[in-house]
Amino acid sequence: MIHKHLVFNRRRSITMMLALAILCAVTAAAAPANSVIINGVSIFSQRYLLNDGVTLSTTGTLGADAMAHFDPNTGILTLHGYNGGRIIAGHGDLTIKLVGTNRVTVIENHSGMAIGIVGSSTTDNLLTITADSNAALVVDVQNEGTGSAHCIAHNTSVPMSLRISGLANVTTIATASAAEGIGAWGLFEILDQATLNVELHGGNLYGSWGIINWGPNGDPTLTVFNTAGKVLVDVSEATNDRAVCLISDSYQLLRVGNMTLKWHENGGEMALPQNFKYEKADFAVCKDQTKAVYRYGTPRDLRVTGGDIDGNVSVGIFNRNVQFLAGDVAGISANVPENYNFTNWTTTG
């Protein structure tokens, strides 16, 4: 028992040191982005992007005659009703602040990478997507050629951490022969009450990656889920074994209202990462052949006498590998002799 306790503490300390190292790297890149390219228009000073998507102005009203504003002093790009093309961060940390409903759409046809939001070329930069009140951003990227589609991605050559926070509701939709929802390199975290939906289409030729936080140089990466909102990662359309929900060196599943990971039944063992850990005392977990659901709370044990547990109706998983939270609906079938006069179930405890 002592030996097991020591091993657990050592692993936990390694994870904590890794998290600390990555967080220090993020805070070191303090300079805000000095520019941004939005819908093909470069902005280097305080300017509004008007609703026509091409005109810059020193004056404007977001939500009326303007749909975006950039402040290079703070590195904040505010979107209010934005409906346009790709966003590229300049040098430094870019914060995208959402107001209302916004959409980034990129439709291309080539053998390269089609990207919706691109991080800075500054090493160890931080891209933040946040909202002070309920606001939404949809990033829809399609590559109709033989290339790939990436909704939110780091610059090819440098690390980028990504934070989704506040009341932001972010949806990524990638459609291509190789599709990727989130591409970070360092620290990826979803915090506060933020919500994330990752939806991938295609991917049957080269693969689908829901959330990939990976350093090509072997740099350690950490993915943190600490939100009261919901997370959905759906790679179920890809029928090969290259469909992966999550990739990261390590994970911290601290809190999530409901996180659902979905993959195709032919996806293989790679769909759900082997190193994805959770604290059983804090989460109710339900799994079947194509889906895993994680919900923050105290899991409840359910035992049935004279019957079988067929699943958790509340999360739509119908097998016996399920846990329950208070208020869940359980699927139960009777297991009694054929001529037994069954009337009803009773509960105890």
pLDDT tens across 16-58, in order? Answer: 344 444 444 444 545 999 999 999 999 999 999 999 999 999 9
| Res 348: pLDDT | 61
pLDDT beyond 90 at 279: no
Q: Exposed, middle or buried: residue 269 (CB in 10 Å: 0-12, 13-18, 19+)?
A: exposed
pLDDT tens for each residue of 56-103: 999 999 999 999 999 999 999 999 999 999 999 999 999 999 999 999
pLDDT over 70 percentage in the chain: 86
Looking at residue 280, what is its pLDDT?
Answer: 60
With cut-offs at 50, 70 and 90, classify the pLDDT of residue 324: very high
- What pLDDT does 143 receive? 97
118 pLDDT band, cuts 50/70/90, is very high
Across all residues in the chain, what is the average pLDDT? 86
**Contact indicator for 231, 258 with CB cutoff of 8 Å:** yes
The Cβ of residue 14 has, within 10 Å, a number of other Cβ atoms equal to 11
Of 19-33, 38-52, 306-320, 332-346, which has the strongest mean pLDDT? 38-52
Examine the pLDDT at 120 and tell me if it is beyond 90.
yes
> If we measure between CA atoms, which residue out of 275, 276, 172 comes closest to residue 233?
172
Predicted confidence (pLDDT) at residue 267 exceeds the cutoff of 80: no
Residue 7: helix, strand or coil by DSSP?
helix
Please give the Cα distance from 209 to 113 (Å, whole number): 14
